[in-house]
């Protein structure tokens, strides 16, 4: 899509979140198509690859990039809040997140080139619901909640329950993603971001793992995982997560981890990789993280 084609779409810029919610409610009631646009790094590319069939039936584009309620990053009383319109560049540069949630800032450094990081937003990454979404995997490991707003108020959805299928979420047509919130891991928590692709940067992952764990006296007291590109949606690896809370991490075997990983994912063959390779890499990443936990538990 070029700028001239974008100009064909009806376009509005709501001044407040309340105005946005009123517009969404009215259009949803009339079953009219609406697109919320901030960075546009996904939507504009998708329009170029699959332009609308009927140029007379274009959705209304609502620019939400400047809404103050959707912007900013804040940390208070161990709770981190990231606005839906916060960019990956803002996330990777945030001093508190760099110290307390390095799994998130490491992910943000791997999202495309710096130009994409400066435009792409966390809310857009979640709304697109790609199974390869890096941001969703990192936030899932942090047990983040997605906060949605409508004319009826706000509601929270755990990110582990937000994706309902390929490119589908629990966000209703009259709702907007406002922010995400999560409890910061303790200082010293074990956090890992591993992205396996065709090259180190600017590549969609073949497999990506985000993991967060806290260990006390040989047992896991916090266990969070997010894995991308191994199922129709980003997955939280619930069976693996349960093993991360074992009374004795030293007793968790590689065989148990392999079985748990196989249970939690459903990789496919596609242009980027094969199901067999994804399963092999996923198991290796999970076992590598648990080796670190066993070492920490032993010390």
Read off the pLDDT of residues 68-89 as tens digits, 9 standing for 90 and up. 999 999 999 999 999 999 999 9
Going by their DSSP bridges, the two strands 34-37 and 60-63 should be labelled as: parallel
Tell me the C-alpha distance between 26 and 232, whole Å: 32
Q: Region 134-145: what's the mean pLDDT? A: 97
Residue 199, pLDDT > 80, answer: no
CA distance 222 to 198: 32
- Domain ranges in the chain? 3-63, 68-183, 191-298
Nearest by Cα to 127 from 92, 82, 162, 90: 162
**Domain spanning 68-183, CATH class:** alpha beta
Tokens of 161: 């329950």
Q: Which residues contact 220 (CB under 8 A, 6 or more apart)?
A: 213, 214, 244, 245, 246, 249, 293
Split at pLDDT 50, 70, 90, the class of 295 is confident
Report domain 191-298's class: alpha beta
| Rg of the chain (C-alpha set) | 20
Binning pLDDT at 50, 70 and 90, where does residue 232 land? very high
């Amino acid at each position: 899509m070029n700028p001239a084609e974008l100009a064909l779409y009806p376009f509005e810029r709501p001044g407040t979140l309340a105005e946005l919610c009123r517009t969404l409610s009215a259009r949803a009631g009339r079953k009219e198509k609406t697109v919320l646009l901030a960075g546009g790094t996904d939507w504009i590319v998708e329009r170029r690859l699959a332009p609308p069939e009927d140029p007379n039936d274009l959705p209304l584009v609502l620019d939400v990039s400047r809404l103050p309620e959707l912007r900013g990053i804040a940390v208070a009383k161990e709770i981190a809040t990231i606005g839906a319109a916060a960019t990956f560049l803002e996330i990777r540069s945030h001093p508190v997140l760099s110290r307390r949630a390095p799994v998130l800032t490491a992910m943000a450094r791997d999202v495309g080139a710096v130009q994409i990081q400066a435009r792409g937003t966390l809310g857009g990454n979640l709304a697109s619901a790609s199974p390869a979404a890096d941001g969703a995997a990192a936030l899932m490991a942090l047990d983040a909640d997605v906060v949605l707003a409508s004319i009826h108020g706000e509601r929270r959805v755990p990110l582990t329950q937000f994706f309902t299928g390929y490119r589908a979420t629990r966000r209703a047509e009259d709702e907007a993603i406002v922010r995400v919130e999560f409890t910061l891991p303790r200082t010293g928590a074990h956090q890992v971001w591993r992205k396996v692709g065709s090259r180190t940067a600017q590549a969609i992952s073949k497999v990506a793992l985000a993991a967060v764990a806290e260990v006390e006296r040989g047992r896991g007291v916090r266990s969070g995982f997010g894995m991308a590109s191994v199922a129709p949606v980003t997955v939280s690896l619930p069976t693996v997560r349960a093993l991360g809370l074992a009374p004795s991490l030293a007793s968790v075997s590689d065989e148990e981890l392999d079985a748990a990983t196989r249970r939690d994912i459903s990789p496919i063959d596609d242009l980027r990789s094969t199901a067999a390779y994804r399963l092999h890499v996923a198991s290796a990443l999970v076992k590598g993280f648990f080796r670190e936990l066993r070492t920490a538990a032993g010390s």
